[in-house]
């Protein structure tokens, strides 16, 4: 019989297998790295319609988080403040500043300021703010050092693994209730955090909630 196939086709199956394995690994590795929340979400810093700086308002002026986000202690939803709340101060401070034109217009006309949504969990996740901030989890754990941000940036991945880190070990993150809204607070040392945290977990009967119904209903 003469050669039906040229010689180089002998190497073809091996080549295909190796290439397929390499491609598969590349796809998996690529997805693992690029399509997880740690990559896709962290660093998201969209341009907001009004250049509100948390650094100025929280660090320099010393405002408490709850002045604007007043629903955070009562509801699952931490609300963006209304335009009239901004005008509480800004009808005097920076009264005519062009950067606040949109806020003034909104408070006057009733058209809301279209803030860009940064921190969002999927619809099948039911997250409740009130139970976290009332039980010793600070804003900084999930939102990063937002008090130092001039423009809000998505600092943590907010993936399920991220949530479980704390749910599995609340003593590593829980802090005295008075320090929840003090975003600059640091524990004296990691061991002190674990020791104090363990005590608080015991006293407050904090549950290590890993069951599905805690967040997915």
Partner 1 sequence: MKTVPPPCPEPETGPQYWRSLEQLAETPAFQEWLEREFPDGASEWTDPVSRRHFVRIMSASFLLMGVGLTTGCRRPEEKILPFTKQPPGYTHGVPQYFATAMPLRGSATPLLVKSYDGRPVKLEGNPEHPLNRRPDGPAHGGTDAITQASILNLYDPDRAQRFTYKGENVAREKALDALAAAGKAALAGQGRGLAWLSGRSSSPSQLRLLEELRQRFPQARGYVYEPVDFDIHRQAATLTFGESVKPRYHLEKARRILALDCDFIGSENDAWHLIGGFARGRRLESPSDPLNRLYVVEPVMSLTGTNADHRLRLPASQVFPFLAAMFAEFMDLARAADTTPGAADFAAGLKERARSLSAEARKWASACLKDLAAHPGEVVVLAGHRQPLAVHVLANAMNFYLQGAGRTVSWIAAPEPPAGTIQELAAALDAGEIETLVILGGNPVYDAPADLDWAATQRKAKTIFRLGYHEDETAAVCDWHLPEAHYLESWGDARTLDGTLVPVQPLIEPLFGGLTALEVLARLGGLPAVKPYEIVRETFRHIAGADAFDEKWKRFLHDGHLPDSAAKTVTPQDVNWSAAAPAVLAGPALPAPGPQALEVVFLRDAKVDDGRFNNNGWLQELPDPITKLTWDNALLVSPATARALGVYRVRDHYIGNAISLKTRMPVVKIELAGRSIEAPVWVQPGMADHVLGLTLGYGRLRTGRVGKGAGYNAYALRTAAAPYIAAGAKAAAAGRDYELATTQNHWAMKGRPIIREANLAEYEKNRRFARAMDMPEPKLGARPIYPNPLEEAARTAPHQWAMSIDLGQCVGCAACVIACQSENNIPIVGKEQVGRNREMHWMRLDRYYLGPEEHPQVVQQPMLCQHCEAAPCENVCPVNATVHDQEGLNVMVYNRCVGTRYCSNNCPYKVRRFNFFDYNRRPLDQLYRSPLTSFNDGEWELKRWFKNPDRGSRPQDEWDLLKLARNPDVTVRMRGVMEKCTFCVQRLEQAKIAQKVRAGASGDTTVKEGAVKTACQQACPAEAITFGNLKDPHSAVSRARAHERTYMVLDYLATKPRVTYLARVRNPNPEMPDYHETPLSTREYLDHGGMLHGHGPEPHGESAAAHAEQKGGH
- Smallest Cα–Cα separation from 100: which of 90, 108, 92, 115? 90
- Nearer residue to partner 1 within complex by CB, 4 or 212: 212
Residues between 163 and 182 that touch partner 1 (CB under 8 A)? 176-177
Q: Which is nearer to partner 1, 95 or 99 (CB)?
A: 99
User: Residue 12 and residue 7: Cα distance in Å, rounded?
Assistant: 10
Q: How far is the CB of 210 from partner 1 (least distance, A)?
A: 8
- Provide the minimum distance between the beta carbon of 12 and partner 1 in the complex, in angstroms, as a whole number: 34
From residue 192 to residue 211, the character string flagging contacts with partner 1 as x (rule: CB under 8 A) and all else as - is: --------x--xxx-x---x
Residue 130: exposure state from Cβ atoms within 10 A (0-12, 13-18, ≥19): middle
Of positions 81, 144, 157, 187, contacts partner 1 by CB under 8 A: 81
| Residue among 19, 27, 30, 46 that touches partner 1 (CB under 8 A) | 46
Q: Does 73 bind partner 1 (CB under 8 A)?
A: yes
Q: How far apart are CA 125 and CA 160, in angstroms?
A: 9
Question: What is the three-class DSSP state of 165?
Answer: helix
* Of positions 22, 30, 112, 168, contacts partner 1 by CB under 8 A: 112
Give Dmax over CA atoms of the chain in angstroms. 97
Q: Are 103 and 89 in contact (CB under 8 A)?
A: no
What is the C-alpha R_g of the chain?
25
Shortest Å, Cβ 37 to partner 1: 10
| CA nearest to 49, candidates 119, 118, 116 | 116
Residues at the contact surface with partner 1, assessed by CB under 8 A: 39-49, 70-71, 73-77, 79-85, 102, 106-107, 109-117, 120, 122-124, 126, 128, 130-131, 134-136, 151, 153, 176-177, 200, 203-205, 207, 211-214, 216-217
């Amino acid at each position: 019989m003469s050669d039906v196939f040229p010689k180089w086709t002998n190497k073809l199956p091996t080549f295909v297998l190796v290439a397929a394995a390499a491609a598969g690994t590349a796809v998996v590795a690529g997805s693992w790295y690029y399509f997880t929340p740690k990559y896709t979400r962290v660093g998201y810093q969209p341009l907001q319609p009004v250049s509100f700086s948390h650094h100025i308002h929280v660090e320099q002026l010393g405002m408490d988080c709850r002045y604007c986000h007043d629903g955070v202690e009562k509801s699952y939803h931490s609300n963006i403040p209304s335009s009239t709340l901004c005008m509480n101060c800004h009808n005097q401070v920076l009264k005519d500043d062009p950067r606040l034109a949109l806020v003034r217009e909104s408070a006057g006309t009733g058209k809301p300021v279209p803030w860009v949504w940064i921190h969002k969990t999927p619809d099948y996740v039911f997250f409740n703010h009130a139970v976290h901030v009332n039980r010793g989890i600070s804003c900084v754990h999930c939102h990063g050092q937002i008090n130092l941000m001039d423009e809000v940036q998505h600092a943590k991945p907010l993936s399920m693994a991220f949530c479980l880190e704390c749910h599995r070990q609340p003593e590593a993150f829980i802090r005295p209730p008075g320090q929840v809204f003090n975003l600059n607070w640091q524990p004296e040392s990691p061991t002190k955090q674990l020791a104090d945290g363990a005590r608080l977990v015991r006293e407050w009967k904090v549950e290590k909630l890993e069951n599905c119904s805690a967040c997915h209903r």
